[in-house]
A = this chain, B = another copy of it.
Amino acid sequence: MTSVRVACQQIAPVAGDLEGNRRLAREGVRDAVAAGAGLVVLPELCTSGYVLESAEEARSLAQPAHGGALAEWAEAAGDAVVVGGFAELGDDGRTYNSAAVVDRSGVLAVYRKAHLWDREKLLFAPGDAVSPVIDTRAGRIGVLVCYDVSFPEPVRSLAMRGADIVAVPTNNSHFPRPDDDQLAIEIALTRTQAYFNRVYVAFCDRAGSERGVDFLGGSAIAGPEGWSLTPERIGEPALLLADCDLDRARDKDWTERNHAFGDRRPELYEGVGARVH
């Protein structure tokens, strides 16, 4: 058994406060590592904040994929791996909503969010690369960002390429909900994505509010049979921890007769690869 303690560090960044956000993330990583975490997930865009007014503001808050806040995550990581969202200034001069995988040796990989939500389309360029599976000291990690997991295909793709844990920096706004007694759809979908693929999904949301937008604070870590390993209602800043046995994510057998991937019938899934404009 290879057990990894996974942390979602649900902090509350502030739009435009680069210094304050760096401190929040740095201290958040340190606290999670002190609590035994081998993998620490931070929210989406935790360097810049989320509610940005213009492409110019987003660009002014962006940083390259090396140095800056990411160097601080590496310094604070100890033996852990850190996955966190940041506003990236690309080599190509474009601004991306990205997530980095970092350990003490530096940046292992950068993923650029491929599915942009609403006004993000005005602020960021979409990523154009397949999200890689990264072999780390905390297992085989896949990375997606927020709205990417509103589609079943990206997690499916990562799991079929061998990911044990899918780390998802996210920012969920607290939009009106029909029924406050229902489990948030974001958590239901985190659990379901884990279940479909028999992987761990670490969905790290943020708390707080920015420029009139309240955030849900709905982080969750779900296990390979689709159950939450963490409390279901958070709201406030919090450190969520769950011990994850990677062998369980590598066993795709539901029963002696059922394999989560082997039972698929791709020849019957007519139209799922279609492009829709």
Interface residues of A (CB under 8 A from B): 114-115, 117-119, 121, 126, 128-131, 147, 150-154, 156-157, 160-161, 177-179, 182-183, 185, 188-189, 191-193, 195-196, 225-228, 232, 254-255, 257-266, 268-277
Chain B nearest CB, measured from A51 CB (Å): 15
Once the chains bind, are B182 and A192 in contact (CB under 8 Å)?
no
A258 to B128, CA, bound (A): 18
Once the chains bind, are A152 and B152 in contact (CB under 8 Å)?
yes
A160 to B262, CA, bound (A): 24
Once the chains bind, are B268 and A196 in contact (CB under 8 Å)?
no
- Residue on B nearest A271 in the bound complex, by CB: B160
Once the chains bind, are B150 and A182 in contact (CB under 8 Å)?
no
- Residue on B nearest A177 in the bound complex, by CB: B227
The interface centre, meaning the residue of A154, A157, A269, A273 with most chain B CB atoms within 10 A of its CB, is: A269
Q: How many copies does the complex hold?
A: 2
Q: A188: which of B114, B117, B154, B192 is its contact (CB, 8 Å)?
A: B192
The interface centre, meaning the residue of A179, A191, A259 with most chain B CB atoms within 10 A of its CB, is: A191
Once the chains bind, are B257 and A118 in contact (CB under 8 Å)?
yes
A121 to B254, CA, bound (A): 14
Once the chains bind, are B151 and A264 in contact (CB under 8 Å)?
yes
Once the chains bind, are B150 and A227 in contact (CB under 8 Å)?
no
Once the chains bind, are A257 and B121 in contact (CB under 8 Å)?
yes
Chain B nearest CB, measured from A218 CB (Å): 13
A270 to B269, CA, bound (A): 16
Q: What are the 7 A-B residue pairs with the smallest beta carbon separation, nearest first?
A: A152-B152, A192-B192, A261-B276, A185-B226, A153-B269, A188-B188, A160-B271
A262 to B273, CA, bound (A): 12
A274 to B162, CA, bound (A): 13
- Residue on B nearest A154 in the bound complex, by CB: B269
- Residue on B nearest A117 in the bound complex, by CB: B258
A76 to B186, CA, bound (A): 40
Q: A154: which of B128, B195, B268 is its contact (CB, 8 Å)?
A: B268
Q: A182: which of B193, B227, B264, B274 is its contact (CB, 8 Å)?
A: B227
Q: A276: which of B115, B160, B271 is its contact (CB, 8 Å)?
A: B160
Once the chains bind, are B130 and A270 in contact (CB under 8 Å)?
yes
Once the chains bind, are A271 and B161 in contact (CB under 8 Å)?
yes
